[in-house]
Amino acid sequence: MAESLKTEVIIVGAGLTGLTVAFYLKKAGVNFRIIEKADRTGGVIQTISEKGFVYEAGPNTGVVSNPEMAELFEDLNGKCSLEIADPNAKRRLIWKNRVWNALPSGLFSAIGTPLFTWHDKFRILGEPFRAKGTDPNESLADLVKRRMGQSYLDYAVDPFISGIYAGDPRKLVTKYAMPKLYNLEQEYGSFIKGAMKKAKLPKDERTKKASKEVFSAQGGLGKLVDALTEAIGMENILLNVQHAIAQPAEKGFQIQLTTPEQLISAETTHLVTTCGAYALHELLPFLNDDEIAPFNELNYAAVTQVTLGFSKWKGMSLQAFGGLVPGKEKKNILGVLFPSSFFQGRAPKNGALLSVFMGGTKRSDIAKLDNGEIESLLNKELPRMLSHRNLSPDLIRIRRYPKAIAQYDETTGKRYEMIKKLQEKYPGLILAGNIRDGIGMADRVKQGRTIAEELGRKG
């Protein structure tokens, strides 16, 4: 006999978005349940301690790009502490012509860098006077070439996008993938003019919380997940849900849940989905082919992450955030982070923790390689790149994420329109997660809190 469950809100997915929704719903006194396919909370966020190293099995860092991200740590009341990256390791390195070059951080360093051509360095002086774009679906590559030049695309934006999206700037639509950049041009007519004018705008204390600093949690991002889970309460979280099938009801939704131990018939007024687009067709079988199509069209970058731990580091100086590799350089890696250089306690003293990223949309073939082939590629490139003659780490862990990062490409507008249409057609349905509103950790937290506040007002 099936158990029954009735609650105001059911949240599908216990990743950062779902946990944030639940955390703020609990603070507002709204009844809810989270349902999660895995046997733990946190989604791809997971911190592991092993052999004296503390490393992330999922995302390594976030950026405090909005006040909501900083406020989440504040609202956890000391259960988890924000850790800002060491400012002494702020340098970003770009690989060009067989050497690392620091990405310019200001006007004078931009003039002297070998990353950009002299033609484009002079061309940038005219950026404030160029007409703004008129195509709302212009790719990021086309926008950058139009305003900044080809070398800025090749040696600044392309590797930057590899680090964020593991994607291709020729396919990402600026309006959706980099909305702040798009709005600078649309509102101010220029990146340079817009940045200067925005810098002069008065900021209240809350706005100042969006420090743009790179962050983690003290002890790893898993500590943030643990704190949220504890605050929410395991009694409000159902793990190991093998199947979940929702159907519209007179007031909300009926959901059939299957776990290894039981069948559950759930009834809810509001259904919040935070799962990937690829899971929606099973969860929401009442959607017709035209309604589900925009979600099936969402592309994801497949990423392979290799964690390398060295008890004693004997290579180049790692006093930097990490290095990114432009596609133009034809390497087998997207980039490498140096977490032990900017977060405390990630490696033994005089040791090093590295996180190497491979694959992405431009190298989807790497996802098919086995561990031996991955290690062979690394041994072919990393010793030379890191000035480390014998790359024999004390720890090596390889993880694959076939659907790691949603790509905000030309299909995005149609998906956004369908989300709006479906939420109007089925009152109580909220389609969330990284299918909209950005892919960063701060984006997920802001979206989750916004949803919780909206539901709190309705309640």
pLDDT tens per residue across span 123-180: 988 999 999 999 999 999 999 999 999 999 999 999 999 999 999 999 999 999 999 9
Residue 278 and residue 304 in one domain:
no
Averaged over 64-85, what is the pLDDT? 97
405 pLDDT above the threshold of 60 = yes
Pairing between strand 352-359 and 395-406?
unpaired
In a domain, 233, yes or no: yes
Under 8 Å between Cβ of 193 and 38? no
Residue 391 pLDDT grade (very low, low, confident, very high; cuts 50, 70, 90) = confident
pLDDT for 298 equals: 98
* Buried-exposed string 407-441: b where 16+ CB fall within 10 A, e elsewhere: bbbebbbebbebbeebeeebebbbbbbbbbbbbbb
Residue 46 CB neighbours (<10 A) = 18
438: Cα separation from own chain's centroid: 8
From 424, 418, 165, 443, select the one nearest 297 (Cα to Cα).
418
Residue 399 and residue 306 in one domain:
yes
Residue 253 and residue 278 in one domain:
yes
The verdict on pTM exceeding 0.75 is yes
Cα gap 172→178, rounded to integer Å: 9
1 pLDDT above the threshold of 80 = no
Cα gap 93→336, rounded to integer Å: 10
323 pLDDT above the threshold of 90 = yes
In a domain, 57, yes or no: no
Q: How many domains does the chain have?
A: 3
pLDDT for 105 equals: 82
pLDDT for 110 equals: 81
Q: Determine which helix (DSSP H) or strand (DSSP E) holds 449, and give its type and residue range.
A: helix 441-458
Q: Average pLDDT of the chain? A: 95
Torsion sign, CA atoms 42, 79, 48, 347: positive
pLDDT for 272 equals: 98
From 62, 131, 93, select the one nearest 333 (Cα to Cα).
93
Under 8 Å between Cβ of 387 and 279? no
Residue 127 and residue 170 in one domain:
yes
- What single string gives the DSSP state of each residue in 125-171? GGGGGSPPP--TT-BHHHHHHHHT-HHHIIIIIHHHHHHHTSS-TTT
108 pLDDT above the threshold of 80 = no
What is the residue whose two structure tokens read 């009152």? Answer: 427
Under 8 Å between Cβ of 3 and 262? yes
Fill in the DSSP letter of residue 87: G
In a domain, 223, yes or no: no
459 pLDDT above the threshold of 90 = no
Residue 285 and residue 412 in one domain:
yes
In a domain, 219, yes or no: no
Residue that finishes a domain, picked among 155, 183, 202 = 202
- What single string gives the DSSP state of each residue in 263-295? EEEEEEEEEEE-S-GGGHHHH-TTS-HHHHHHH
**Which CATH number covers residue 259?**
3.50.50.60
Residue 417 and residue 294 in one domain:
yes
In a domain, 95, yes or no: no
Residue 287 and residue 420 in one domain:
yes
**Which CATH number covers residue 122?**
1.10.3110.10
Residue 360 and residue 238 in one domain:
no
Residue 274 and residue 420 in one domain:
yes
In a domain, 54, yes or no: no
**Which CATH number covers residue 306?**
3.90.660.20
Residue 305 and residue 379 in one domain:
yes
Task: Tell me the sheet residues that pair with 5.
Answer: 266
Residue 87 CB neighbours (<10 A) = 9
Residue that finishes a domain, picked among 202, 237, 256 = 202
Percent of the chain whose predicted confidence (pLDDT) is above 90: 92
Domain region containing 139: 116-202
103 pLDDT above the threshold of 80 = yes
Residue 109 pLDDT grade (very low, low, confident, very high; cuts 50, 70, 90) = confident
Residue that finishes a domain, picked among 202, 218, 239 = 202
In a domain, 208, yes or no: no
Residue 267 and residue 144 in one domain:
no
Residue 223 pLDDT grade (very low, low, confident, very high; cuts 50, 70, 90) = very high
Task: Tell me the sheet residues that pair with 6.
Answer: 267
Residue 332 and residue 373 in one domain:
yes
**Interval 339-371: pLDDT, tens:** 999 999 999 999 999 999 999 999 999 999 999
